[in-house]
Each structure stands twice: as C-alpha cells, then as structure tokens.
Structure 1
Amino acid sequence: MAAPAESGAGKADLLPFKATEKTLANGLKVIVVPTGFPNIVSLQIPVQTGSRNEVEPGKSGFAHFFEHMMFRGTKEYPPEKYQDIITKAGARQNAYTSDDLTNYYTTFAKDDLETVLKVEADRFQHLDYSEDVFKTESRAVLGEYNKNSANPMSKLFEVMRDAAYEKHTYKHTTMGFIKDIEDMPNQYAYSKVFFDRWYRPERTTIIVAGDVEPQKAFAMVEKYWSKWQRGTYKTDVPVEPAAKGAIYKHVPWATPTLPLVTVAFRAPAFSEKAREQAALSMLLSLSFGRTSPLFKRLVQDEQKVDQLFDSTPNRVDPTLAMVGARVKRGDDAVYVRDAIMQTIAKARTEAVSDKTLAEAKSALKYGVIRSLDNTEQIAGTLASFVHFNRSYGTINNYYRVLDSLTPADLLAAGRKFLTDDGMVVTTLSHSTLPAEIATLPKLARFEPKTGKANIDILVQKSALPQIRYKLLFSAGAAHDPAGKEGLAALTAAMVAAAGSSDRKIDEIAKAFFPMAGSFTEQTDKEMTTFTGSIHKDNWTAFNEIALPMLLSPGFRQEDFRRLKDAQKNALQTDLKDNNEEELGKERLQTNVFAGSGYGHAALGTVKGLDSITLDDVKSFWKSAYTQGAVRVGISGDVTDAMTATLKQALAKLPEGEGLPATTAPVGKMPNGLEVEIIEKNTRATAISFGLPLTVTRSHPDFPALWMVKTWLGEHRSSSALLYQRIRELRGMNYGDYAYTEAFPRGMFQFFPNPNLGRKAQLFEVWIRPVAPENGHFALRIALAELDKALSKGMSKEQFDITRGYLMKNVFVMTSTQDQQLGYALDSQWYNTPEFTKLMRDGLSKLTVDDVNAAMKKHLSAKNLSVVMITKDAAGLKEKLVSDAPSPIKYDGNKPKEVLDEDQVIGNMKLNIKPEAVKITPAAEVFAN
C-alpha cells in the first residue's frame, strides 16, 4: 500500500483545499478532501465505466443500467435494509452515467461516514440480484428512455451521434440504442459479465469530502474495501476512422415544437497537459456564448432564435464539439445555420484579442469558484475530473492549461478541428424546413475576404468570497391583472434580462463576463426574487451595473418583444409541448386553484401574454418594486460597507408598500375523483393528482404533513412508500413522489428553490410516466396505496425512521449559500423561526398519533383532482368511467402475493362519473 500523498493547494490551483491521496494494494484510489464546511460529508465514487466501454454489438446501455442495478442490494444488505440505513443517516443520494464514467454520490451527516462506507463497499463487491429483479429494472430503464423521448433535444443528440461515428462507442448515448434497451430483459447472463469486468478497484476512486479527518477516513476505507479483488479484463475501444466529409441528418418531430439546428465537429480528447481541447472549448464559448456578437445578433437584435448554445465536452477519447440554436420560425433555419457557419469560419481565420481572452479566463475562474459553495458541489466537481487519471491534481492541471492559453492557441485549434470533413449538421422540426437546409455549403464560402431608505438587511456572514444577495418583492403571478396573466413574470424578466437605461443587455453581459457576475430573477405566485452573485473583489463594479437594471430599467421595445416571445415559448413549447411531467403538475395547480390568483401558471396564458403591452410592464414595475415591498438578504464575506452600499442604492426605489396584499386563495375541493385528460401525442402517460391545502409553514400541522409526504414519496427518493410499491416492486415507471409544498421544475433538481412562499398549498402525488396500457392501473395502485396509508396510518417504526431522516436531512436541503439565504427570507415572509429550527423543533414534539391525525384531517384518497396526459384520451376515459378491469403484465416473474394484489387493484372501483372526466386537447392548455 502506498503512503498517503498530500496535494496542497498551490498558487495557481483552482481548488483551495489540501487533499490527501492514497492507492490501496488492490488498486483502489482514495482521495480525502477536508472542505471546511461543518457537519456534512459527501462521498463520491466515480467508476471508469460509461457508454464508451460498451464495445460488444447489441450490448449498449449497460453502464447506465448498472447505475440502476447498484441500488438493488446484496445478500447482506437487501434494498429495504440498505435504504433503511441511508434513511437513518438523513442522506440524499443518487448516481449518473456519462460516456466515460458512472458516479455514485451520497451526502450525509459526518457521524455516519463509517456506516455509509461499509454499506457502499458491500454493494460494490457483492451486488446480488435475481433474474426477475433484473427484468423489472430493465423495464424501468425503458421507462426512462420513454420519458426522455418527449425531449426533442435528447432525440437530436441521439441522431447526431449515431451519424457522426462509424466505429467508436460514442456512437450511442448513455441510454443505449433503443433496440438494445428493448432486448435488455433477455440479457441477464451478460449483465453479470459486465459487472464483473468493469466494477473493479483499479477502475474506481473513492472521494471523501467535507467535515472529515483524513487518517480516520483512510482507515475506514482500508477496513471495508481492501479485500475487493482486482480484475483481469482488458479490451480496446474501437478507434474512429478519419471523417470522410460533411454529414446532414434531419429528425422529423411528431408534435409542435420550435425547430432546432446544430452544427457539430470532431473534437480532441480531454487532456490536462495538451492545449487543443481547452483551446477549442474556449474558442467556441467566446464565439457563441452570451457575450458573443452572434448572440447579440440572433437572440437580441434580429430575434430569430430564442436559444443559442455551445458544448465541447471533456471526454476520454475524441468527441464532438457542438453549436446549436432553437429557431423561432422554420423559414429562418437556413439563415441561422449559415450565421453559425459564418461565425465558425471567422473563428478559423481571425484571432481573438488578448483582452477578450483574458476576460474569458477570468469569467471561467470566478464562475467555478462561485459554484463551490457547499461540500457536495465541491466533491461533485472533483469527481467530474478525477475519473480521467484518478488524481486530485487533474482539475488544477487542467485549469492551469486554460490559464496558459493564448489567442494563437485558439486560432490553431479552430483551424485544425473546425473543418468541412468533420462537420455534422442536424436539424429537428415539426413542420417542413426549406429544402436548402439539406445542402451543406463549404466553410470557405463564409470566410472573410482579404482586401436613504428604511430597509432592514438580513446578513449571513461567512468566509465565502462569493457574495450573494437577494431582493425579495411581494409581487407575483397572484398579482397579475385579469386578462394580463404573465405580467409579473414578464416584468421581472424585463428587469433582469433587458438592460438598464444606460446599458443594453449585451453591454451588461460583456461587463459581467470577466467577473463572472450574475443578476437573475425568479417569479412565483406571491414572490419575485432578484439574486445578485459576485466575487467580493468585484463588488463595486458589479453593483454599478446590476442595480440600475432594477432601479432604472431600459424598457426598450426590442427587448420587450424578445422576452415576450421567450416567455410564450417557455409556456407553449418548453412546458406544454416538450414536458408532459411538468405540464401535468402545473395543470393540476391551475385546476385546483381555478378562479383565483393561483389559477394560472407564473408564465401566464397565451391570451394574457398577447394582451400585455410595454406600458403594462412599466406600470407594474413602478407599483410593485417599492421600498415597502422588498426584503433583503446578503451572505458571504460581507463588510459593513457592502451592506451600506446596498441599502443606499435601494433607497432609490419608490416609497410605498407596493401592490395590495393578496388574500389566501381557496382551492376547489373535489367531490370524488375529478379528472382532466390532456390529449397529446406522446409515448407514455403522465399522472398527477391532489387536493388543496390550507397548511403552510406557519400552520401547526406543517411538520406533521412534511413527515407524511416524506413517508409517502420524498422527491427523488427511492426508499419512500409509493416508489417502493410502484417503481421498485413493479418497475412501472421512473419514480413516484408526494408533495405538500409547491415544487416547480421538480424533474430537474433534488430540492425546491427557496422563495416560493405561498398562502395556500397543494397536496400532490406525482406518478412519473407509465406505459399507456398501464395508465389506468397506475392510477388505481397509487390511490390504493394512498387509501391504505390513510386508513392504517404510519407505524411507530415508520414514524421513528422518517423523523430521524428528516431531522438530519433538513441540514442537507439547506446546505448551499443560496438555500440558506433564501430560506431565511422565506421565514421572514411566513413569520416563522429559521427553517431548520422550525422543522427540528416541530418534528421533535410530534408523536405518531399527531401525524396520523393530521394526515386524516387534511388528506383524502377519495376526493381528488386528477390530471392525466396521454395519446388515446377517449380510450382512457372509457376505461375510467366504465371501471373496466386493468390487468398488468410483467416481463419477469412476480411473487404470487403481488399478482394476487394486482388482481384486486385492477378490479378496484373508482366510481368516476362520466361528467367528472374532461378531455382537453393539448393545444388548448394554458391558452386562456
């Protein structure tokens, strides 16, 4: 065993931590990083296996598949026992698979480090699963593919990669080819081979970061991981031959969506020594990022696209660098493609200035530092680099390379890699694009030819050099005037994304770029929050630019048109057309609170947005953003001078209390099951159901209901009741969760954003998409499980486990700088104690009888509003109102007790009246 090696933070290091590294005799690499954050430890275990390693035909998708299977337990720790341990640790965990790695991560209280290391060691060395369990999980993977199939960008990337590669395994995405996923239930024997080959210590790194003592951590790893045996399997990933010419591929899309245009090129592999990959990444970022001339031209001035983006991923082998745009009109697709190619041609022929490159390096450095505000983020960032060479130094070496880049390096990379032969152009659209899009011009065609306010400020002082402040206004969608739905959100966007009277938004973006500053907005029902984030070194310069955006907005007509279009696209395309899951959740909210200020999405309605004028925005801004309507918080290494500066600036806000206070909306309590079926051309069926709640954080029953939702279906948790019964046992879908507070954008994150305070809430159950033939059964089993939970109540053991988890998890969900500041302001708004104190005090006083009483008092399994999104709406309605049996068929064998229970559930009477079922075409959703 090698002796520990300390990796001290050098002068040019990006990470300012002192890490200790050790390689065990079996080849396992261990990296311990004390971060200085108290109480929390993040364990990250990157394994050097991803879709790149799937070299055998017909066997794609197995690296991602084992991301799932690794949660299926061992003989020593079967799933329920394993999850019980994780729950008692108050931990949140997950995993992800990339082209080159699979990373497993768990964040928990430091006292549980040895326990977590012990159970993780067991599953990495002794994973055990039956063929039936394997088949069940394979159907869940297919469900995940079906979920992703609703996203046009995912499909475009799949087609682009398939076209770009001939032999290399980057040809398929991490999900794998659909034919291989569909055949996966037949690959049980091979799954054992795959695991035996790739899950070995010499391919694995253990990262322990947080409040940890290195020597104790090493001893624990040695104790539980040292007997893991090295592997012997070796194989060569196929080498991709040289590109033979430009390629064009088109993806027809069945449902309405905005067209996509991407232009991709062969790109070099990641290197912490050579400059080519870093140089190409920097070149494309400068050419197509938010400060680029093309962004200003296409997004702001001409407003032909609403998204422009680039990507040069870090990969073990040569990969694809990509530039893409979402086009507002199909007729402009050729124009946008040519604009991208013109910019690429310029990047190949004209060097960037020293000043531009220096500003980009500064923005990159401060941007990464800004993100490192909690232990899990630090460990996760490290894991994304460690897997290359299993070394702590890789990330610091890479950023030294970036820091050493010259304009000549960028120009050389552009000339070498941005070529006609290596180009892949991919488009996606619902409508027909101009025929010219299929004929690719040469890049040479585009090359340039030669020739005093009474405002209290909440201060959370810490050692973090990143300063963050929040300006929370009591103004949201509930204040939208009738017929102007979406006004609050559009006004906030005009403040944060349309410049000030002195500077246009492109000028502000360029000024923010070298300092990695940001000024963003979030609008909900009752709140609009502006968040400024900047390194303390740039405090003065940042606020001279950022605060005038709020105090003296530009209100330019071209920005108004651009942002109004963007908001309509976010409502119609992103939410309604491309995301059944979030659509169902948002529609349930609007149905339950119909007729109130909560009866429309924060984004508004199509009709409401169409009616909004620039004068409406100016009037709302003047009335809503006043001194009396704002709450202010600031965190980081804050000085008295900073708070004084902020207070002095906000003194320029108009005096007054702001908009009239809203009353708590009264939600519509359903009588029986009231169902809306949204008819949409989709592969799967999404389900959300719930009822209104008067319980908010200021209500005495709030901690009790918080326990109930955690027990029923903690968001993204695999140990909760609904998940275990629907997802784990039956493999019907990707997840099943419950909520007692609003959680918009839930499919993208673990925890809700702060500053979503509401005067009324919704109890909601989210059944992630299932196969259409199982839609009726999925509703039945969710209702059956909810009814059983309500009637039987929580047991004392379940109560103790859930409370123990929440007592610790409350620290995890409030661990970032943004969360801590946001929750503190929310507590002011609700007039409650600080959130972790509120929850821990409330939870500690509860009894199991209290929780069961609150559950029965506020929830129901009989009277619920239901939203279902499916293709065959009429067929589903007929099944619901006729109470037709809904049998379910499995690929693998199930125990007799499960099959018997399925038969009972499949015949359960829901007693839904025909008049209680409404079918709505997707095109009509959020229209009025």
Structure 2
Amino acid sequence: MFRSRFLPALPFAALLLVVGLGLIFGGSGRAAGAPPEIFTLENGMNVLVIPDHRAPVVTHMVWYGVGAADETPGKTGLAHFLEHLMFKGTKSIAPGDFSRIVARNGGQDNAFTHFDFTAYFQVIARDRLPLVMEMEADRMTNLVLTDEEVLPERDVVMEERRMRIENNPVAALQSAMSEALYGGHPYGRDIIGHMDEIAGLTTEDALDFYARFYTPNNATLIVAGDITAAELRPLAEKYYGAIGERAPTFIRDRAPAVWPDEDVRIVQRDPRVTQATWIRFLPAPSYRKASPADQPAFDVLAEILGRGTTSRLYRALVVEQRIASGVQSWYEGNRLDDGRFGIYALPRVDGDLGSLEKSIEAEIARLLDGGVDDEELARAKTVIAAGAIYARDNQRTMAYAYGEGLMTGLTVEQIHEWPERVRRVTKEDVMRVARLVFKNNPSVTGELLPGDNS
C-alpha cells in the first residue's frame, strides 16, 4: 500500500481530499447529541473519542502537531520524509512489518503530511484496537533508523517528487503560483520539499526531528468507532500515558504571509500538455483567522460561485457561453495561518484563455454588484448538507475532519456545531466574504499552455 499522501497545492481534480468543514459537517438537522469527548493524559497527550457503534470497527489515529511549515530552513521535506521512515521499524518490529501486522489482522493503515500536522492511522476490528495502540505507542518512542534504511527511502521520496510535481505540469504550475502568493511563508513551498534539499537529508536529520516533535505532549489521539470514552481511557493511559515527555511542547512562532503588492501572472508551457488550463489563487483568511460568521460563509461562497453544475460559473461558462469544458472554485481554510481561495477553468478545445478569464471576471463582478438570491443560497446549503450525509457514513472521514480541525486551530465544539453555523449563513455574510476575497485583493493567475517554454 502506498503510505505517503503528502498534500501539496492540490490539483483541482483532487480538491475533495481537503474540502471545507461545511462539506463534512454541514448535515441536515441539528448537530446530533453532545460533542465527542476529549480528555488529556498526564503526559500532555490529548485524546478525542467519536463513538460510532454501527459496526465493530474503529479508526485509530495519532496526530502530531508538526508539519512541513515547521521545518528548519534548508531542510524542506523533512516532515514528509520522516513520515515514510516511521514505517522502518522499531526495536521490536522489523522494517515494513508494521503494515504487514495490521493487514494480517484485517486492517488498513496509512499516513499523511500537511503543512501543520502529520498523522498516522489504522482502521481495524474493535478487538484489535489494543494491538495497534501498542504498536503506535512503540514507534512514538522506539523508532530505529540506519543509513541502510534511510538513504534508499530518500531516493523513493525524490522519485515521488518527480512523479507528483516535476512530471505533472498542473502541479508544477501550482507550485510556482503558491510561491508567488505566499512569498517567503512556508505555505509557499511544496510539502514534499525542494529536490536539492531532500537530497541532502540525513539519518541524523530525521532522528533529530523525531526526538524534537514526536512526543506525547505534541500529539493527539483520535479514536472513532465502536468504543466509548470510558472504554478508551484505560487503554490510552496504558499504552500512551506511560510515555514521558521527550521534548518541550512545541509552540509555533511563524510570521504571517506577506501577499503580493500587485497581481501576478505565471505562464508555463509544456509539450506534454494537450489542453490549456487557467487557475487563479487569491488570499483569504483561514478558518482560524476568520470571524465566526465568516468561517462557514467562505464555503457557501465557493459553492454558489463554482461548485457543481448549478453554480454560477458552470452555468455561465459551460452551459450558456460554451467556452469552458470545466470550471470550479474552492476555499482552503484548513490551515493555522493564512488560507486562500481558488478558481480553475478548462477551455473547450482550441479555446482562448483570455476570453475565459474575462467571462470569469464578469461573473464575479455580477456577483459583487447584484448579490446572491434566496434560492441559490438555500441550494448551496442543501448541497453542503447532502455531502455531509455521505461523509458521516465514513468513520475515517469523520475522524480525519475532527483531527484536521483541531490541528488547525478549531475547537471540538466549533467543529461539532458546524451544521448549525452553516444554516445561519445569510446573504449578507456571503457578500461580506466575497468582497473580502475579490475586491482590492491581489491575485496570482496561472496559465498552462501546450508548447515549449524555451
């Protein structure tokens, strides 16, 4: 199984991997019951329990409050590299055996790296939960790394970068756009790191990062599934509570992003490209930095403007004008620091990107001038709610959404109450955030064209 799912500036086709909280928690009806219970072990490790008794299965996740944005300058890619190396064995588990043991017990495991966190998870039968807790606690403290294991894995990561970014024209364009938008802020670089810096990472680098950040007082345990807090607490105390604090609790001190002074346009050509692509990024506050009323309004704005076949951009560019084969907008608020709003469009064959851009800007101007109506506001909320109905059927999705929210500055209560907050979004809320995004705000526009840059 491919373990690492680093999250770069995502191609539009993969955006649902990091959809806003509105699509995860915007279900119909009031938020059911009390919020999940959270408690803290004596060593500082937080524990969240999300009961779901429909099947004797649990999703067990350990989230570390460190990600790619926390790396030492000159060592980009280290957080993601260590994610790979966490599967290389401990004093009691041989390299590669972690996943094999999980699979032999009927489970699945994986891991992922974000700008602000790194997480590891297993989905397994309820009666096997002590097994995976014991193994995860073991690799929190007893990871064994040698050059014989580390250096070949470094080559794997370098090849991963080639495949995911350097050999992917859309991803390469977005990489350049992110750097232009965020400037010197860590969000402006790829989570997987710069190739020359990945090549210089060492076993000592990985062990130092592990010792500094992989400590229980910098971690959150989330278990969703067929278990209660009363049942989980003694297990958490047994397997994780016995681990001492190995390093001080990590306190971030990152400067905010400095946005461009003026609009930026990046044009790239690639002989592998057969269809042009247009993308635009605009600054936007993250969920954590937005006001309580604005947080869900950004998701509603994205839905109205460019999500799905009933959105304004789709109706105008694809159905009515027939100048685009696809168009979408999205909001990325799941970050501790500054977020962003994005739009992409694909012209019809032999279409002109200039005409496409003018039509997109005309639709945005129409939105700003005329506002939104009751029908499209209600429809946007309904679509968000429908997406949540399906998301709630997936135990892992729920655990991920709570973990991501907690790791990026939200509280359990804020996440739990999200459905009601979405329902309270008004037309005025949507227009307020629309003006925040689109009026007097610098943008980075990318064009990907067939041909050769030289």
Look up the equivalent residue of 2:222 and give its one-letter code.
I
CA displacement at 1:397 relative to structure 2:
3.4
Which residues of 2 match residues 205-244 of structure 1 at below 5 A? Answer: 205-230=220-245, 231-232=247-248, 233-244=250-261
Instruction: Kindly indicate whether residue 92 of structure 2 is the aligned counterpart of residue 73 of structure 1.
Output: no
> Which AA in structure 2 matches 1:215?
A
Structure 1 position 16, deviation (Å): 5.5
> Shift of residue 117 of structure 1?
0.4
- Select 1:405's aligned residue among 425, 435, 446: 425
Equivalent in the alignment of 1:787: none
Equivalence for 1:299: 318
For the pair shown, the structure with the greater C-alpha radius of gyration is 1
Classify the secondary structure of the residue corresponding to 2:222.
strand
The structure 2 residue matched to 1:284, chosen from 302, 305, 308, is: 302
Preserved contact between residue 267 and residue 277 of structure 1 (Cα < 8 Å): no
Select the residue among 309, 319, 328 that pairs with 2:328: 309
Indicate conservation of the 8 Å contact 2:283/2:339, yes or no: yes
Q: Could you tell me which residue of structure 2 aligns to residue 202 of structure 1?
A: 217
1:550-565 to 2 correspondences below 5 Å? none
Deviation of residue 77 (structure 1)?
A: 1.9
Q: Which residue of 1 aligns with 2:189?
A: 172
- Asked if the contact 2:51/2:227 (under 8 Å) is kept, the reply is yes
Asked if the contact 2:87–2:96 (Cα under 8 Å) also holds between the matched residues in 1, the reply is no
- 1:99 to 1:347, Cα distance in 2 relative to 1, 3 A: farther
- CA distance, structure 2, for counterparts of residue 366 and residue 16 of structure 1: 19
CA distance in 1, matches of 2:179, 2:163: 20
In the alignment, the residues of structure 2 paired with residue 321 and residue 11 of structure 1 have an alpha-carbon distance, to the nearest angstrom, of 26
Q: In structure 1, what is the Cα distance between the partners aligned to 2:30 and 2:64?
A: 25
Q: Which of 49, 53, 76 is residue 36 of structure 1 equivalent to? A: 53
Pick from 323, 346, 354 the counterpart of residue 374 of structure 2.
Answer: 354
Identity %: 25
Q: Deviations over 1:782-813 (max 9, x none)?
A: xxxxxxxxxxxxxxxxxxxxxxxxxxxxxxxx
Match of 2:69 among 52, 58, 63: 52
Q: Partners of 1:91 and 1:283 in 2: how far apart?
A: 39
Give the Å deviation of 1:219.
Answer: 0.7
Q: Secondary structure at the match of 1:307?
A: strand
Q: Shift of residue 228 of structure 1?
A: 2.8
Task: Determine whether 1:335 maps to 2:355.
Answer: yes
Displacement of 1:295: 0.5
Distance 1:331 1:299, change over 3 A: closer
Residue 88 of structure 1, aligned match among 82, 100, 104 = 104
Instruction: Tell me: CA distance 1:336–1:387, structure 2 relative to 1, closer, same or farther (3 Å).
Output: same
- Compute the displacement of 1:360 (Å): 1.3
Is the counterpart of residue 262 in structure 1 residue 279 in structure 2?
yes
Task: Note if contact 1:245-1:420 (Cα within 8 Å) is conserved in structure 2.
Answer: no
Summarize the alignment of residues 126-525 of structure 1 with structure 2, pairs less than 5 Å apart.
126-149=142-165, 150-184=167-201, 187-230=202-245, 231-232=247-248, 233-271=250-288, 274-290=292-308, 291-313=310-332, 314-329=334-349, 331-389=351-409, 391-431=411-451
CA deviation after TM superposition for structure 1 residue 278, in Å: 2.8
The separation in 2 between residues aligned to 1:18 and 1:318, in whole angstroms, is: 27
In 2, Cα distance between the equivalents of 1:251 and 1:339? 22
Deviations 1:68-119 (A, max 9, x none): 1111121122224434431332111111122222221211111111111000
**Residue type matched to 1:249 in 2?**
I
Q: Is the CA contact (8 Å cut-off) linking 2:299 and 2:330 kept in structure 1?
A: yes
Q: Which one-letter code corresponds to 1:278 in the other structure?
A: P
Preserved CA contact (<8 Å) 2:183 2:259: no
Helix, strand or coil at the partner of 1:427: strand
1:710-729 to 2 correspondences below 5 Å = none
Aligned CA RMSD, in angstroms, stands at 2.4
Cα offset for 1:242? 4.3
What displacement does 1:183 show? 2.8
Q: Residues 235 and 36 from structure 1, CA distance in 2 versus in 1: closer, same or farther, beyond 3 angstroms?
A: closer
Verify the 8 A CA contact 2:284 2:338 in the aligned structure 1.
yes
Change in CA separation of 1:178 and 1:346 when aligned onto 2, cut-off 3 Å: farther
Deviation at 1:141, TM superposition (A): 0.7
* Per-residue deviation, 1:29: 0.9
Q: Deviations over 1:564-598 (max 9, x none)?
A: xxxxxxxxxxxxxxxxxxxxxxxxxxxxxxxxxxx
1:102 to 111, 114, 118: 118
For residue 87 of structure 1, give the secondary structure of its aligned residue in structure 2.
helix
Corresponding residue for 2:43?
A: 26
Alpha-carbon distance, 1:197 to partner = 2.5
What does 1:578-597 align with in structure 2 at a 5 Å threshold?
Answer: none
Inter-partner Cα distance in structure 1 for 2:375 and 2:346: 30
Contact 1:243 1:421 in 2 (8 A): no
Distance 1:133 1:249 in 2: 40
TM-score (norm 2): 0.86
2:293 partner amino acid: R
Q: Secondary structure at the match of 2:381?
A: helix
- The alpha-carbon deviation at position 243 of structure 1 amounts to 3.3
C-alpha distance in 1 between matches for 2:180 and 2:394? 40
Match of 2:129 in 1: 113
Give the conservation status (yes or no) of the 8 Å contact 1:37–1:374: no
How far does residue 24 in structure 1 lie from its aligned partner after superposition?
0.8
Partners of 2:321 and 2:378 lie apart in 1 by: 29
Question: Residue 325 of structure 1: CA displacement?
Answer: 0.9
Flag the 1:22–1:129 CA change in 2: closer, same or farther, 3 A.
same
Matches of 1:400 and 1:197, distance apart in 2: 39
The alpha-carbon deviation at position 171 of structure 1 amounts to 0.7
Q: Give the conservation status (yes or no) of the 8 Å contact 1:259–1:428.
A: yes
Q: Evaluate the alpha carbon distance shift between residue 432 and residue 350 of structure 1 in structure 2; reply closer, same or farther with a 3 A threshold.
A: farther
Q: Gapped runs of 5+ residues in structure 1?
A: 1-9, 434-928
Q: How far apart are 1:293 and its partner, in Å?
A: 3.2
Q: CA deviation at 1:17?
A: 6.9
Q: Using CA pairs under 8 Å that are at least 6 residues apart, name the structure with larger relative contact order, 1 or 2.
A: 2
1:692-711, aligned counterparts within 5 Å? none
Q: Check the 8 A contact 2:183/2:258 in 1, yes or no.
A: yes
Q: CA deviation at 1:280?
A: 2.6
**TM-score scaled by structure 1?**
0.43
Task: Provide Cα deviations, 1:182-231, integer angstroms capped at 9, x if missing partner.
Answer: 333xx332222222222222332111111124322211111111133333
Deviation digits for residues 759-788 of structure 1 (CA, Å, limit 9, x no counterpart):
xxxxxxxxxxxxxxxxxxxxxxxxxxxxxx
